[in-house]
Structure 1
Amino acid sequence: MQKIIVDICAIIMPTLLGYVVWLLKNQKKDRDANSKGTMLLLRVQLIEYHEKWTERGYITKHGLENFIEMYDAYHSLGGNGMVTKLLEEIKKLPIRD
């Protein structure tokens, strides 16, 4: 009886482990796709905010805080230096209430 249980476990365990590995790989693909999509949406929004504030010639305190927080999230997702240039330009704008 004990040999049968050992034989069954020897068959089931590799199959079960293979399934777990497959699930984890698919979850990683989903997370990567979500991160990429989020990063792209942040970039679009940062570009739009940059255009808005530079056209006005100033930025509000809350606008600057939001821009910096969005930039930090974008950068942590692997965003590139193009948006860093936008941040530098935004920081040079005068702050108004």
Structure 2
Amino acid sequence: MELSDIIYIVCSAVMTFLVAQVGIFLKDLKEKERKRDEENRKKHAEIDRIRSANSEGIMLVLRYMLKRYHTEYTIQEKITYTQYQDWMDIYAAYKALGGNSIAEEWNEDVEQLEKCNSTSDMSPFEKMLRKE
């Protein structure tokens, strides 16, 4: 066997080894990328779950506030412009979160109330607090 044959065999073996190493490296790189993508999917799913729970919780609080305000304003039989603005802000936020039709009925009731500037006719809840 001549020296050129030996060099040819060694070069072929080295090239085969290098190609195998590059293949292993690329396979590991692809596996790391797959794991990172899976972790990102899990992270985004958790974020979406938390956002959904937060939205649901906020919606429940807004529904409670709408119910309370609706009751308060219908007992007063009138609504101040400040109260009306508060109502509209909360109602808009509730609707933006996908609120249900009961709030629309409450809104219609509030829209029909007499609007006034008087703060002397305070809410029944304020009257109860001031008596104490």
Q: TM-score range by the shorter chain?
A: over 0.9
- Check if 1:86 corresponds to 2:117: no
Structure exhibiting the larger radius of gyration computed from Cα positions: 2
- Check if 1:76 corresponds to 2:86: no
- Check if 1:18 corresponds to 2:38: yes
Letter of the 2:29 counterpart: C
Structure 1 unmatched ranges of 5 or more = none
Partner residue in 1 for 2:50: 30
Percent identity, please: 26
Instruction: Report the CA distance between 1:11 and its aligned residue.
Output: 1.3
Letter of the 2:66 counterpart: L
Higher relative contact order (Cα pairs below 8 Å, separated by 6+ residues): 1
C-alpha deviations, 1:35-91, integer Å up to 9, x for none?
000001000000100111110110010111111111111011111010110001001
CA-based RMSD of the aligned residues comes to: 1.1
TM-score by length of 2: 0.70
Aligned length in residues:
97
Instruction: Report the CA distance between 1:7 and its aligned residue.
Output: 2.3
TM-score by length of 1: 0.94
- Check if 1:57 corresponds to 2:77: yes
